[in-house]
Chains A and B, each alone.
Chain A
């Protein structure tokens, strides 16, 4: 949902002509004019200039940051010291306290603050009441663990450097150079990550504004979208003060009571050609260079400033709705990463260069270095360096810090049917019936903003939704759910209890005065914003979700948080002014990117606490930050019914998955516009492989529920959705395992094959967790063939007919007519599935399983299967089934992987009738041809069951079926094929 309104809307309605004319002038200026480029964002421009200067004067450049050697102390895994910043125009040295924490996980955390501000020895302008410290609470939101300090010791220390050994068995080293301050991180004797190696580090210290009358006049002239060009040449960036004190954009002036205060640092990955991460951007998985422009490079840095970007562009570093400032660098057999923990507006420049000039990079296999430059507007400098060495470990350590995705309720990974808007409760019921009539499964139907009374959340439009409970009862009859939208803007309307309480309890975001409630424009018109940084607001919010309070909500009601960037139609860059004030006296600029997370965090907690016995909540968020993955699913925002958006959705979802946010997806069908039947069909065929699978459409689009497409499209879409449902055991198991390890649910080639250099930048095909399933969706109009890249020597088999695809390091062209989904099974895996079609995932609970055993070249395969009740937290107390299946030496065995708890026994009893109804062995040996039976061993009893062997034809593999072996999913058993 959620497009932007043109910001003048509210005020211009009065006079039609004025309004229309204002629109004429706005056309064509909407997209780019609304959002800043680097040189329209003062601190970005300053820091980029700073880097340019440093680069241009490489030989004479001296970074003004020096480590004060006597202050260096290492204790219990933590090194502390003071960095001194020297100033050009003063002899004063700015003291910047440094902490380097060497964590047990092998991660090194570098924090740099500003002493004067820590101590409050600064003066704020305009009589501002905001905090004097640099913002230091990002970690409180993002970090949930992994901070245990590990062992660290000083290996060597002299005047120029201090060398600290840390990590597993002291195998990592940090070379901390004193003057200028910089750090090289070594693993296996090689430098993998360099901090401030280029000297781009910049902590704009606090300074008083020196009033220069001439300057004043010039500053007054600074106009929208532009900053004053400095008279001085670029080699002296410190002179460019034009953006220090006030900045104007889009008619809004930022008062900047604390003046310039950006933090920046260069982080280089010597020998690493590929970098991934820092979602969300609409571009390739492998991040592009950001200097120079042209076909392959951008000329703007990647930006992270969560925004309601209307009709976003493809292949662009422009900011989107959420931000995860976590990047990983990859080369053959090594992955390292950096996590820049900062909630303010952040820009990242990426440059790749041929190495060789740097002696420390000698011996690395790649000749390309990737240098990144991170620039944030405010806050302390807080960066985590992760040394890998594999993609799996990088994500594990990252999610140890920021948390993994908690186990979702099962319906959440099934199919969601959404539209802005289903217009009445009867409409919802009718869609529900139609799905059944056409035999199309679905689990959840969604309501966008129109269900409310005048966009007042927690209310229902009495005319259109007179009976929400009756509607939800009908859904519940087939174990289906409702998701209703709740946004953070609260209509400013007297008599609306939410608005009244927000005001009377003082729980809203304030304007720059720090006293007055901020007023802006959003869906309901004049609105306020609940400030979920405030614990009291969150507590109050919880109350609003109680069944008694939110009348018409039921146990099968779940929640969608939209517009939480926050989107403010008449604000600068469609969001809040940066000098707005939040709880704790922090400016909005300090925590903008975290704002969305606080809101869905509140929603999640509210849902968790609405039942006496908590059930797993489900919330969807549009805006997010590092850590959001713990609490909510996300989607990639307001995309378009366009082939390019379908294609880009894949790298976008992959990028989120490798940044610790697996529960992600794009709107199937495209939000804006009307997809052709072919596009819609192809989108479903791709969308069934998004971890979060939801179809959605804008209010002005034609209806497009799958049953409306007509044949052959409806049938093909139904088949695709049924495939998703039959593979739910794979998805559910993947979510369970990811909740333990943080592992991505959908995995790009480099993650699965970290040593295959050819495949590092492949981002249009992907694996589903560890199942060995590999898919490549068709994302171009009229396409009937796909080229699938196979990285390894293992044989792959077509999921549907067991055709063999083999040959490492090359593309294989496969037929992909409209009704064909390209889905391959890698040899060596056991894939659990449920073949019986049902109306919803909840109604599949007791259905038997089919195991597909895909043998590898050595006749081996394994796999796992996780099952629980799909909704409660009983699984924590052992109410779950977790099995490992292994086929080895002609024998298939099921072993227990779970640890039992107090609810194990009862649960197993409830599942005691659930069988494995069929075992299919793909690439079954020809010796089995004559075999008519296999023996089954379960509970010490031996039985025989039928085996049917089917000969392949060379192109297709031979396969065999064990029919009805009589084994149970919750039991240990073995089937002997010998």
Chain B
């Protein structure tokens, strides 16, 4: 037999307990009062209609609200889901809403429950809902459903006990998680404080190293000055430099041309593929085409870096490419006629530039070079060293290291500060789970949920992982699911969710996304993964993180009724 728990409206605790035998079949204690008379029965919602009591449960629907048939399927068609037919004389205002929530199985030895009238006497023993077999009292087609409440009740109680126990442990675990989360928060706070101190220290260090460097440079300049050759050397050098720069400029021009050409070819290809993606016929289920489009989506999704930066590089290059003159670049004429005393200046061309620009150029240069190298445009070669005294080099390295460290520390602190304001769910409990993942096998995939991070699909047959979404936010959803005996299910009610979005783009569909729906459980585990619609996944997940004192009780109330006495 299968679940029908969606329709199981388990009985609330009856305030007055009637003697079971006095109620007609299918009547719950709550409704017993309507069935007390032995002569006539008044339809519950339409008391103006009276039928002889003998017509109660005679398998013919007399009452427009179905209340005369609490124990048969005769009035099961009274539903907005069934075709509607005229129900009575137009002179009467009749209420045709079903008066009863369902057929009540007493389930003595277990819990009483309502089952839908549709499944009464249909020839199927629905033991999960009606363990006493009273739903098949008419033995349609010869079916026989002996009372199994004793075993089922026992089994259920056993499981329920385990479930309760597990709930208790789950609550305990949640408390631990909250403590852990708090600890981690504290850790972060402490870290921020300590980072603050460290940053201050580092700032001072940077300052002192700057001074040290300035000192070293000063000394070095003196050395260079002394070591400089006679007049005329500068001129020679200037000539050489000019030639060399021209050579470099020519090369750069050529490289730029090549790059522009490649850029336009890439653009051409990308346009081709973009058109392919929009124009291919998605109805051909061709795995090859699908893979190609998927791969293209992935490729297209990779951030190619800010274009502004590219524009900067471009502007630099254009700047560099301008021929040297009085107004642009280096005015060689100046050097050609200059005193040799200024030779040191040649070595320190950069010194002419403001410090910030200097640094920026160096950075751009190295980036650009790296770009060219990684793209195979130019060969990797060792940097030609600028001749500089070891003392200056050391000082410079120390300074840049210190500066780097300072930047790191600052960003670390900024991150931690941002972290403090981020939503980690109720009691920030998910702070304790961040960085951990759970996974489960389902069909041809292993699914992985990394808390507050990503959901992933890993094919067992091999091939790359598919990102099913990145954590975006928390939410809530109302669910109504069957709760298996082992408690590994969402049950009924409002549940906390985590929304993971913007995963890998889907063939002929949106980017993958996952809604992680969580219910209280002792162990963190994925219960079920399914594709609700194309590329929209749902994971039903158990975790102690969502157990709450109130929530836990509510959840158990949904499933636990009261034994029929």
- Cα separation A563 to B480 with both chains bound (whole Å): 41
Name the A residues within 8 Å of B74 (CB-CB): 836, 917
Which partner residue on chain B sits nearest A966 by CB separation? B60
Name the B residues within 8 Å of A5 (CB-CB): 284-286
Q: Which of B86-94, B160-168, B424-432, B466-474 contacts A (4 or more CB under 8 A)?
A: B86-94
Name the A residues within 8 Å of B272 (CB-CB): 20, 24
Name the A residues within 8 Å of B198 (CB-CB): none
Name the B residues within 8 Å of A310 (CB-CB): 283-284
Q: Does B309 contact A (CB under 8 A)?
A: no
Interface residues on B, range: 35 or more
Interface residues of B in 19-60 (CB under 8 A from A): 58-60
Q: Which of B76-84, B226-234, B347-355 contacts A (4 or more CB under 8 A)?
A: B76-84
Max chain A CB contacts within 10 Å: which of B73, B281, B461?
B281
Name the A residues within 8 Å of B6 (CB-CB): 436-438
Interface residues of B in 508-565 (CB under 8 A from A): 508-509, 530-534
Name the B residues within 8 Å of A61 (CB-CB): none
- B128 CB to closest chain A CB (Å) equals 11
- Cα separation A953 to B116 with both chains bound (whole Å): 36
Name the B residues within 8 Å of A701 (CB-CB): 534
Q: Does A190 contact B (CB under 8 A)?
A: no
- Cα separation A835 to B81 with both chains bound (whole Å): 12
Q: Which of B77, B88, B288, B534 contacts A13 (CB 8 A)?
A: B288
Q: A16-B292, A20-B292 in contact; A700/B534 too (CB < 8 A)?
A: yes
Residue-wise, chain A 14-48 has the 8 Å CB interface mask toward B (1 for contact) of: 00100110011001001000000000000000000
- A189 CB to closest chain B CB (Å) equals 51
Q: Does A424 contact B (CB under 8 A)?
A: yes
Q: Which of A99-107, A166-174, A427-435, A734-742 contacts B (4 or more CB under 8 A)?
A: A427-435
Binding site secondary structure of chain B: loop
- Cα separation A440 to B283 with both chains bound (whole Å): 30
- Cα separation A726 to B82 with both chains bound (whole Å): 9
Name the B residues within 8 Å of A708 (CB-CB): 532-533
Q: A23-B280, A838-B118 in contact; A846/B141 too (CB < 8 A)?
A: yes
Max chain B CB contacts within 10 Å: which of A13, A461, A951?
A13
Name the B residues within 8 Å of A430 (CB-CB): 530
Assess whether A700 is in contact with B508, with CB atoms less than 8 Å apart: yes
- A822 CB to closest chain B CB (Å) equals 13
Residue-wise, chain B 439-467 has the 8 Å CB interface mask toward A (1 for contact) of: 00011100000000000000011000000
Q: Does B210 contact A (CB under 8 A)?
A: no
Assess whether B283 is in contact with A719, with CB atoms less than 8 Å apart: no
Max chain B CB contacts within 10 Å: which of A16, A430, A839, A917?
A839
Q: Give the tally of cross-chain contacts (CB within 8 A).
A: 175
Interface residues on A, range: 35 or more
Q: Does B289 contact A (CB under 8 A)?
A: yes
- Cα separation A836 to B138 with both chains bound (whole Å): 15
Assess whether B124 is in contact with A478, with CB atoms less than 8 Å apart: yes
Residue-wise, chain A 798-813 has the 8 Å CB interface mask toward B (1 for contact) of: 0111100000000000
Name the A residues within 8 Å of B141 (CB-CB): 845-846, 910
- Cα separation A650 to B265 with both chains bound (whole Å): 52
- Cα separation A426 to B85 with both chains bound (whole Å): 38
Max chain B CB contacts within 10 Å: which of A24, A702, A708?
A702
Interface residues of A in 697-733 (CB under 8 A from B): 698-703, 708, 715, 718-719, 722-723, 726
Q: A477-B124, A701-B534 in contact; A3/B284 too (CB < 8 A)?
A: yes
Assess whether A837 is in contact with B284, with CB atoms less than 8 Å apart: no
Interface residues of B in 95-151 (CB under 8 A from A): 116, 118-119, 121-124, 140-142
Name the B residues within 8 Å of A432 (CB-CB): 2
Assess whether A439 is in contact with B81, with CB atoms less than 8 Å apart: yes
Interface residues of A in 790-840 (CB under 8 A from B): 799-802, 835-839
Q: Which of B81, B122, B443 contacts A718 (CB 8 A)?
A: B81
Q: Does B62 contact A (CB under 8 A)?
A: yes
- B497 CB to closest chain A CB (Å) equals 18
Q: A700-B534, A703-B532, A837-B77 in contact; A9/B288 too (CB < 8 A)?
A: yes
Which partner residue on chain A sits nearest B273 by CB separation? A20
Q: Which of B86, B90, B283 contacts A311 (CB 8 A)?
A: B283
Q: Does B276 contact A (CB under 8 A)?
A: yes
Q: A9-B288, A437-B7 in contact; A843/B88 too (CB < 8 A)?
A: no
Q: Which of B2, B59, B90, B442 contacts A478 (CB 8 A)?
A: B2
Q: Does B4 contact A (CB under 8 A)?
A: yes
Q: Which of B2, B83, B292, B480 contacts A436 (CB 8 A)?
A: B2
In the complex, besides A20-B272, A437-B7, 16 extra interface pairs with C-beta distance below 8 angstroms are A4-B284, A436-B2, A437-B3, A437-B482, A439-B81, A477-B2, A479-B124, A672-B283, A700-B508, A700-B534, A836-B74, A837-B82, A845-B140, A848-B59, A917-B59, A917-B60
Mark A residues whose CB is within 8 Å of B: 3-6, 9, 12-13, 16, 19-20, 23-24, 27, 30, 310-311, 423-424, 426-427, 430, 432-433, 436-440, 461, 463-464, 474, 477-479, 672-673, 698-703, 708, 715, 718-719, 722-723, 726, 799-802, 835-839, 843-848, 910, 917-918, 920, 948, 950-951, 953, 959, 963-964
16 A–B contact pairs at CB < 8 A? A19-B288, A24-B276, A27-B280, A310-B284, A439-B118, A461-B444, A700-B282, A718-B81, A835-B77, A836-B73, A836-B77, A837-B76, A910-B141, A950-B88, A953-B90, A959-B86
The 10 closest A-B pairs by CB, nearest first: A437-B6, A964-B60, A843-B122, A702-B533, A846-B140, A464-B443, A463-B444, A424-B443, A703-B533, A835-B77
